[in-house]
């Protein structure tokens, strides 16, 4: 895999089965977040490169074999891709770490999850019936509902989980028989480039999988508005997602949007009644907020804790957060890596400053760490931060920070806990912690979020749908609904014994 990456260091646009440089000849350096040094160079595509890739995908869909390939063969190819991902797990995990700044172990776990997604959609499509027979009330009528691929799909993915988010789109798109153009984030494209190579190695026909590396305002915008694109699936921020939807509207193409969240982690006092329960709830609150330095769309960045245990809980949480070992993700023993860019760190710093100005109390963090050999001063590191005494009117509580910042709110009644947890324009995910099963399930049923965990945080299953309410987006990824996003539904009605209707006398 390393040889392929090096060979295509600048020819990172893949269209019609060929690795190409940008038409403009422009390139971009990819920086390691741990030290801000370049470790790769990729093509910097623009609208013309997007046009070239869409044309290749359109030709492959309209005239190529993939849309008509039997589902068993499509499923077999997806399984081969999963096997190749397992083969290259170590190299891809390290590349994901250097690309996005996460720890190498997180990178390896991501690759496992990517392989799982490919296997899940392979199994799902292979096990399906060829169509749903509809009872028309007559033996002379054969009526069936079938599913067909949408066509050319534009897949626009984010920087925080580059390969995982790409797989949640690419695997179902291919399983359904589509062709696609993927645009990874311009700052974390490396593992997606590698995946395109694995698809070709697995035997995917030329033109089915295409990639354009480049910025969103040129490549992404053109893909979203392009009349030859039949579907656009976008994962990213709310402002960019709104622009994608607006660009796609004139051509009335299918649109799926996953736009992040401001996710509550509700802890009832009874969850902490035992030392084991207390330890688990604190541990999971740390995981919820600080995995991948909080750069997770489903991060539990809003701790909503019941008043009787608030002080003890927050004190212990802050004590443990101060001990999180920051450093280069590839270094042994590091638990949390840097933020993805200087811009992202500056954004986090601005949110913390606004919180303190609005009355928040800093319990730990709130600054850049002291440099060390494993934590170069040039890297974009920021300490895990706990902000107490927060309230709903604060900017840091309302808006998605996407960094290692945890806010603390307090409740006294079950109704108040639900009100606070639902008081957000987002609705992606949330959690409830309680030793009372009935209460936990009751609260979970009242939460307006697409995923709700009870006594846990962060796990997902490829067979269960992922997506949110409100401004967290539209549509779903994963699960049967994730496959349905990449299909059109057709009703075929066959009259086995046609005869004149005689509606008109003449």
Q: Which residues are catalytic?
A: 258
Question: 3-class SS at 412?
Answer: coil
What is the gyration radius of the CA atoms in the chain, in angstroms?
24
Question: 3-class SS at 243?
Answer: helix
Question: 3-class SS at 309?
Answer: helix
Residue 505: CA atoms inside 13 Å, Cβ hemisphere, count? 0
Task: Look at the block and give the residue holding tokens 């539209």.
Answer: 474
Is the distance from CB of 17 to CB of 207 less than 8 angstroms? yes
Tokens describing residue 294:
């909080």
Cα separation, 72 vs 79, in Å, equals 11
Residue 476: CA atoms inside 13 Å, Cβ hemisphere, count? 16
CA-to-CA dists, residue 9 to 22, 28, 89, 363, 378, angstroms: 12, 10, 20, 44, 24
Question: 3-class SS at 330?
Answer: coil
User: Which of the 8 DSSP states describes residue 472?
Assistant: G
Q: Which residues pair with 361 in a beta bridge?
A: 388
What DSSP letter does each residue of 449-466 carry, written as one string? SSEEEES--S---TTS-B
Q: Which of 258, 215, 233 is nearest to 400 (CA)?
A: 258
Q: Who contacts 424 (Cβ-Cβ below 8 Å, separation ≥6)?
A: 261, 262, 264, 302, 398, 470
Q: Which residues pair with 490 in a beta bridge?
A: 146
Burial 254-292 (b: 16+ CB within 10 A, else e): bbbbbbbbbbbbbbbbbbbeeeebbebbbebbbebbbbb
């Amino acid at each position: 895999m390393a040889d392929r990456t090096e060979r295509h260091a600048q020819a990172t646009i893949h269209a019609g089965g060929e690795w190409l440089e940008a038409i403009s000849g422009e390139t971009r350096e990819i920086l390691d977040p741990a030290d801000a040094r370049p470790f790769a160079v990729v093509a910097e595509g623009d609208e013309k490169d997007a046009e070239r890739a869409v044309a290749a995908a359109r030709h492959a869909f309209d005239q190529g074999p993939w849309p008509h390939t039997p589902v068993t063969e499509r499923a077999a190819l997806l399984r081969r891709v999963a096997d190749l991902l397992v083969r290259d797990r170590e190299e891809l995990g390290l590349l994901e770490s250097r690309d996005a700044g996460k720890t190498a172990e997180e990178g390896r776990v991501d690759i496992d999850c990517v392989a799982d997604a490919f296997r899940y959609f392979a199994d799902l499509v292979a096990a399906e019936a060829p169509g749903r027979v509809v009872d028309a009330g007559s033996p002379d009528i054969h009526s069936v509902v079938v599913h067909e691929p949408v066509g050319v799909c534009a897949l626009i993915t984010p920087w925080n989980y580059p390969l995982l988010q790409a797989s949640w789109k690419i695997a179902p798109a291919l399983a359904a028989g589509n062709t696609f153009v993927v645009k990874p984030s311009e700052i974390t494209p490396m593992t997606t480039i590698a995946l395109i190579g694995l698809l070709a190695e697995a035997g995917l026909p030329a033109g089915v999988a295409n990639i354009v590396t480049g910025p969103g305002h040129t490549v992404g915008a053109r893909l979203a508005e392009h009349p030859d694109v039949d579907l656009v699936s976008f994962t990213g921020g709310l402002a960019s997602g709104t622009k994608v939807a607006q660009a796609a509207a004139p051509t009335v193409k299918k649109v799926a949007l996953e736009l992040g969240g401001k996710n509550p982690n509700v802890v009832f006092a009874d969850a902490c009644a035992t030392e084991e329960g207390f330890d688990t709830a604190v541990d999971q609150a740390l995981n919820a907020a600080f995995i991948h330095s909080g750069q997770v769309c489903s991060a539990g960045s809003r701790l909503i804790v019941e008043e009787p245990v608030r002080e003890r809980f927050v004190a212990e949480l802050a004590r443990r957060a101060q001990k999180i070992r920051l450093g280069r993700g590839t270094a042994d023993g590091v638990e949390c890596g840097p933020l993805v860019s200087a811009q992202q760190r500056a954004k986090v710093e601005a949110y913390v400053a606004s919180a303190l100005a609005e009355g928040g109390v800093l319990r730990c963090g709130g600054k850049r760490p002291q440099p060390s050999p494993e934590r170069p001063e040039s890297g974009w590191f920021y300490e895990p931060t706990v902000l107490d005494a927060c309230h709903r009117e604060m900017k840091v509580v309302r808006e998605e920070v996407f960094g290692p910042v945890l806010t603390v709110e307090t409740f006294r009644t079950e109704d108040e806990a639900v009100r606070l947890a639902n008081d957000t324009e987002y609705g992606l995910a949330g959690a409830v912690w309680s030793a009372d099963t009935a209460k936990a399930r009751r609260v979970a049923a009242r939460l307006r979020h697409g995923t709700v965990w009870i006594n846990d945080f962060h796990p997902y299953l490829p067979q269960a749908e992922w997506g949110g309410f409100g401004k967290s987006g539209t549509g779903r990824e994963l699960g049967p609904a994730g496959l349905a996003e990449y299909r059109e539904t057709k009703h075929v009605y066959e009259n086995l014994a046609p005869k004149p209707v005689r509606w008109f006398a003449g």
